[in-house]
Amino acid sequence: MANKDQPPNQTAVWDNQAQSYDEMGYWKSQENRANLAVLLSHIGNPKGKRFIEVGSGSGFTSAVLAERGAECALLDLSQEALDVGMRNFMRRGLPEPQCYNENALQSSVPSNYYDAVWNMGVLEHFYDDGKKKLVREMYRMTKPEGSVIVMVPNAWCWPFQIAQKWKKIRKSWAYGFEDDLSPRRLAKICNYLKLDNYVSYAYNPIHAWSWFPFLNKVIARWDTLDHHLRQTWMGYTSILVVKKDALKNRP
């Protein structure tokens, strides 16, 4: 019977991606700096707070949060990815993070525990049922008055959608199944789960163009962090921020 939540062989996809994680290249990208800035704008000062990155991949951003005083945990299907994250924490002289090599849809992560439960580039790799279940699970892990934060490629960012389709046609797409979400679609997931304390919007109109190699030199001339942070309906990144009500434990 087909899995209605997520495609098969996802572990193999992310085990393979883990071989290419490069921290120096990661932080050279204005996109990743912008994502960190946006994340911090929603979580505030990380010091003394607990965070878990659900679908952590490299864990590079979590390590930065840990350097700023947060207690961080990592969850990923791929043990290869978790190994990269743990080595990066150790290289920085940070305490080893709590790691969960589990499926995020049915994990042993405690409920009502984290100040923020977040990820970047994860939700789009699930089918519709799985998307709803993942947001529900992230909400379960979040403590009252904490936040669920989801960042995904924006389905309304047409330059990226064209680039992605072209790569899939040429069979050079390396990220497996991907179903990107607009801010409106993220809001619909919240409405389905009866979560009403949320915001969703899109930002970063620049990064999508970097998927076209012949434009990279042009972009580099005026590529600044401020450009990546600008909010616009066709920005590369859609973000959903859900605040957990102190008096409720839905859904």
In order, the DSSP letters of 48-69 are: T-EEEEES-TT-HHHHHHHHTT
In order, the DSSP letters of 156-189 are: T-HHHHHHHHHHHHTT---S-S-----HHHHHHH
Flag whether 2 is in a domain.
no
Give the DSSP letter of residue 20: T
d(CA 175, CA 159): 18
20: domain CATH number? 3.40.50.150
The range of the structural domain enclosing residue 96 comes to: 10-243
Question: Which whole-number Å values give the CA distances from 18 to 37, 106, 197, in the listed order?
Answer: 24, 22, 35
Enter the tokens of residue 110: 């405690």
pLDDT reported for residue 220: 75
Flag whether 118 is in a domain.
yes
Flag whether 42 is in a domain.
yes
Report yes or no: 39 and 149 within 8 Å, Cβ to Cβ.
yes
Flag whether 189 is in a domain.
yes
Flag whether 195 is in a domain.
yes
Domains in the chain: how many in total?
Answer: 1
pLDDT reported for residue 247: 60
Flag whether 57 is in a domain.
yes
Flag whether 232 is in a domain.
yes
Flag whether 3 is in a domain.
no
Kindly give the parts of the chain with pLDDT less than 50: 1
Cβ contacts of 75 within 8 Å, gap of 6 or more: 52, 53, 54, 55, 56, 99, 100, 102, 104, 107, 109
Cis status, amide bond into 251, omega within 30 of 0 = yes
